[in-house]
């Protein structure tokens, strides 16, 4: 690589030419496997074909319910597992056992982590800040 000539009179065109000596040259577009793409620049915009996650999902194992902003007693009425979402909406006062990555049932907006839950007989006692431990649809990227 040639040494740039010293700048004359602080001319902006001289500065531009000096920078271009060290600027990388774009040769042509080429397809490379993802494993070989590190350190490269995209030739065109990358467009997402859909939202990720594609649904509101639990980010922890625990219990999905509608938060009221205070401790509440909840009746566990079922479960939502990966590939087997709970089949109906969750009403106030109800909760669904949920696995990490599972679809958040309709009506639920919050997940109480399993290790934070207190269970007395058939009743779950707990509270979690609204929206806690939920990955929202399109939260990583959207279409």
pLDDT digits (tens, 9 = 90+) for 39-85: 888 888 889 999 999 999 999 999 999 998 888 999 999 999 999 99
* Entry pTM: 0.70
CB 85 within 8 A of CB 105: yes
Residue 121 in this model has a pLDDT that exceeds 90 = no
Structure tokens at 27: 């040769």
Structure tokens at 94: 């109800």
> With 0-12 CB in 10 A as exposed, 13-18 as middle and 19+ as buried, what is 90?
buried
What length is written for the chain? 143
How far, in Å, CA of 69 to CA of 130, rounded?
7
Q: How many CA atoms lie within 13 A of 94 on its CB side?
A: 14
């Amino acid at each position: 690589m040639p040494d740039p000539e010293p700048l004359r009179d602080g001319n902006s065109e001289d500065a531009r030419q000096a920078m271009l000596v060290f600027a990388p040259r774009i040769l042509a577009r080429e397809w490379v496997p993802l494993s070989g793409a590190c350190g490269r620049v995209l030739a065109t915009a990358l467009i997402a074909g859909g939202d990720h996650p594609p649904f509101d999902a639990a980010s922890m194992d625990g219990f999905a319910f509608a938060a009221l902003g205070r401790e509440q007693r909840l009746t566990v009425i079922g479960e939502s597992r990966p590939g087997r979402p709970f089949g109906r909406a969750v009403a106030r006062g109800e909760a669904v056992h949920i696995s990490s990555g599972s679809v958040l049932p309709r009506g639920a907006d919050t997940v109480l982590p399993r290790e934070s839950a207190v269970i007395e007989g058939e009743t779950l006692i707990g509270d979690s800040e609204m929206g806690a431990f939920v990955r929202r649809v399109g939260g990583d990227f959207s279409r």
